[in-house]
Structure 1
């Protein structure tokens, strides 16, 4: 009985050793330096290609900041601003002048950035985010915003604002004054907004009602400056 038991144990041990050797020869031995499996749903994996500048710091997308030169140069002069402006209009001529002075200007990129800036500024004002507002506003506009914020904070009032929908914006006016490019954009948005006093009582607006707002904001940029960003210079176009 003892010899039979010993022989069986030896046979099974040899079989197990053979299986382990076979697996190692097929799969290879782990050395501890293997790369972990790539997760295609996580940004920044080694095999994922990065865009230029990616990973070098967070950049706020602003109007026209990354407009490709080739797009502006290749546009057909007879239709390059359609449907954003009418041929022969002041806005069309203004866009032509801006594009001639700034070869990186591209209308679609500008409007996408303007839309982003519009939403950021409205939410930033509601939240009292001064550093963010300072990056997006001309000094005179920023000073007026800060005055309103300071008065609101003294009263203890707070604004709650959220966007439901916003259009892509439409060109209301465009012109080049020397080196200053100015473009007025009409926005139409659906938002929910309410102002509460220090006691939490709603004193303006309705936190459960969607309202439509229509604004014309004017953005400007020095086309001769190295800074590619546009800034808000007016929240109401008077021209």
Structure 2
């Protein structure tokens, strides 16, 4: 797998072999299609945001209840993390700090957020991205969009499916909960120049993409937003 990151124009991720997180964890085989920028900064706590574009990742219709203190259920994270693993310990820490955490609901919400962010980046929808990304990640995405617009290029992306969304890591850093998910998806995407000619990707071909993304939120906060704080090309 090979990643290409162009700092002066836009970020193109190219993979010759099947790869989503190295967010692959987040996208599969790279074929030169334009992707959201790869942000390799260490995950940071998200900034507060308005509720205009909230993706609730951790709660269903009713708040999930934390397991009774002192009780250990080896099957508590069944289907998401094996008992006595770092991932299970991460879930335990997050659930203890925020009883509303539910890995089943979070995964479905993360899948929705992933699709929203990828399509918003392709269309240049800054407003949608702002409430879903941390400040640093947002600035990187907007920089890539702006450079693309200066060149008169447009990206057409069609989401075909998300074939897999699996947990890679979960941690509680201070009061900040961080959850990392590897996405494997199928997309149709092409970048066109000012004349409408395809200069990257293929508007008729479905490609496999793998990405590893990390979401973060302050545990117990009234703000329901989980922000994307780090992305990585996966394999």
Deviation at 1:224, TM superposition (A): 3.5
Among candidates 130, 137, 142, match of residue 126 of structure 2: 130
Aligned partner of 1:121 in structure 2 is 117
Please give the TM-score of this superposition, normalised by the length of structure 2.
0.72
Who is 1:63 aligned against? 57
In the other structure, the counterpart of 2:144 is 148
**Aligned residues of 1:136 and 1:230 also touching (Cα < 8 A):** yes
Of 140-149 and 221-230, the range deviating more from structure 2: 221-230
Deviations 1:102-158 (A, max 9, x none): 011111110000000000000000010101100000000000001000000000010
State the secondary structure of the residue aligned to 2:232.
Answer: coil
Matched, 1:184 2:180: yes
Distance 1:108 1:153 in 2: 38
State the number of aligned residues: 182
1:115–1:209: structure 2 CA closer, same or farther, 3 Å change rule? same
More helix per residue:
1
- Quote how far apart the aligned CAs of 1:87 are: 1.6
Please give the alpha-carbon distance, in whole angstroms, between the structure 2 residues aligned to 1:222 and 1:195: 37
Of stretches 58-67 and 90-99 in structure 1, the one that deviates more from structure 2 is 58-67
Tell me how far apart the structure 2 counterparts of residues 212 and 237 of structure 1 sit (CA, whole Å).
Answer: 12
Contact 2:64 2:101 in 1 (8 A): no
Once the two structures are superposed, what CA deviation does each residue of 1:72-125 show, in whole Å capped at 9, x if it has no partner? 548973112121112221111000000000011111110000000000000000
What is the root-mean-square deviation in Å for CA atoms of aligned residues?
2.2
Cα distance 1:214–1:183, how it changes in 2: closer, same or farther (>3 A)? same
Distance 2:164 2:111 in 1: 6
- Identify the residue that residue 167 of structure 1 maps to in structure 2: 163
Query: Secondary structure, in 3 states, of the residue corresponding to 1:120?
Result: helix
Q: Quickly say closer, same or farther: Cα 1:224–1:70, change in 2 above 3 A.
A: closer
Query: Do the aligned partners of 2:130 and 2:138 also contact (CA within 8 Å) in 1?
Result: yes
Higher relative contact order (CA 8 A, sep 6+): 2
The equivalent residue for 1:218 is: 214
